[in-house]
Structure 1
């Protein structure tokens, strides 16, 4: 295959077929006709001189070669998306699309008001928000900016610390009415009312640093979704960790064992090659200003 004649449309169809497992599913996802997707696959297989998928009663099964090509095709997809975002901005204006990656809580609870302010000041900006904790989003160009609660260790990234967010234990007023408020952390853990993760060890590790021996079985409600934990807390299902800035918005959330506090660092991460782009630079500065104010509130 000659790289000078490489057709991204063929590879895009290949990647979506790989994800969907059928020509029909890929056609729907790409908003193309079934014959068009079929033609793309046939043409790509002809260029490669081999078969990429084997038909089965349950759909298309990717060959070993197809699976080995997935990462490279995904990199092409990310590069194409970055090209579109970059080209969408006019050189003389602050405009274009900025893709931001953030954790569930930060993305759902903290960023929307900050992005609203950015949009008011820069109407030409558009935002795509991906809820993810992976630093690889920036390395692979899946995101222009990542908001992270830990300093990235990967080489080739620009990182700026913008503050710290204090986290404490909270319970809904309805839970406090139904149950006796615990006096010690040990009492809370043994009560079976603690909200925590299922497979993510973050809370257990933090509690163990406080000298507590905690297992998954000690959590009365378990979910690896931060938003599900927050919803459970607001519903009065138990006692859980919450960012103090978020808890302060809800008068029904009351602190439990207020002396127990953890601080999460807040970092903004981007790729060096994006720093000179005005849409990214303005968004970085807006996020830094908004998050710095949030962490100081």
Structure 2
């Protein structure tokens, strides 16, 4: 049965899962709704099990659909990796490289670095994924990753390029209205910006002694970019990378001696990719640029 499965069927299956309807999947893939419907029927026949049930809210995946989803996503990642490999088949500084980084690093730190990379190597196309989820390089979900924790898989090529310091920051207008706290105890009288649900990065900070829980924050969001936007808007005091905040004169580093957490910066890729010239060029470029950024992130 596995030999009979067509990737196009699995592609349509994932689109229906993501969009919740045949029409949404058709728009996402640029196909017709009847074509998507035929793909789902063919896949159900090949697997001998229903994958969706209709409801007023749209198509609801069955337990079987949820069980096979990770396998279909692995097929999608493999297909994307194959396309990237083919894009650089001629060798040299040509082809596509897929990068993943956290929200703040991807949106605030990498863009000027990638602009300089493109100026030097216009034949390299870049795909940038912003996610605080650690994407699996072993499954080729991405080619190169910027991470804040040391990778443990032996098949990964990892380079520590420095550390980034996290500190409390606030807009100077907020501090002019509410005063500047002189100790951690005085934070109780301020509007604090922070997380809603604990992420792996928060758990890492917990191991380093970070004590604040969600109840301490008057403004909660699990988007690091939203937290940064709230700090910039003068809504309160929140955590930000020192290197990012130093670019803006309006942001003030609060309690720099009392609230200090440092995270390692790693550039990582699968060891099998190091023979690709374009992968090595991007990997080395990011390592050099992030090393320079890390120097600006010291307190």
Specify if TM > 0.5: yes
Alpha-carbon distance, 1:278 to partner: 1.9
Match of 1:219 in 2: 217
Matches within 5 A, 1:253-268: 253-260=251-258, 261-268=260-267
Match of 1:288 in 2: 287
CA distance in 2, matches of 1:83, 1:20: 25
Given that 2:95 and 2:124 are in contact with CA atoms closer than 8 Å, whether structure 1 keeps it comes out as yes
CA distance in 1, matches of 2:22, 2:202: 43
CA distance in 2, matches of 1:70, 1:213: 37
Selected match of 2:194 from 182, 193, 196 = 196
Determine helix, strand or coil for the equivalent of 2:255: strand
Distance change (3 Å), C-alpha of 1:126 and 1:205:
closer
Which is worse superposed, 154-163 or 82-91? 154-163
CA distance in 2, matches of 1:111, 1:28: 31
CA distance in 2, matches of 1:51, 1:216: 41
CA distance in 2, matches of 1:226, 1:272: 30
Gaps in structure 2 of 5+ consecutive residues: none
Gaps in structure 1 of 5+ consecutive residues: none
Match of 1:169 in 2: 168
Alpha-carbon distance, 1:240 to partner: 1.9
Determine helix, strand or coil for the equivalent of 2:114: helix
Alpha-carbon RMSD: 2.3
TM-score (norm 2): 0.89
Distance change (3 Å), C-alpha of 1:235 and 1:277:
same
Distance change (3 Å), C-alpha of 1:123 and 1:2:
same
CA distance in 2, matches of 1:69, 1:206: 34
Match of 1:83 in 2: 82
CA distance in 1, matches of 2:133, 2:292: 25
Matches within 5 A, 1:43-82: 43-82=42-81
Alpha-carbon distance, 1:205 to partner: 7.7
Given that 2:101 and 2:132 are in contact with CA atoms closer than 8 Å, whether structure 1 keeps it comes out as yes
- Aligned pair 1:37/2:24, yes or no? no
The size of the alignment, in residue pairs, is 294
Alpha-carbon distance, 1:72 to partner: 0.9
TM-score (norm 1): 0.90
CA distance in 2, matches of 1:136, 1:150: 13
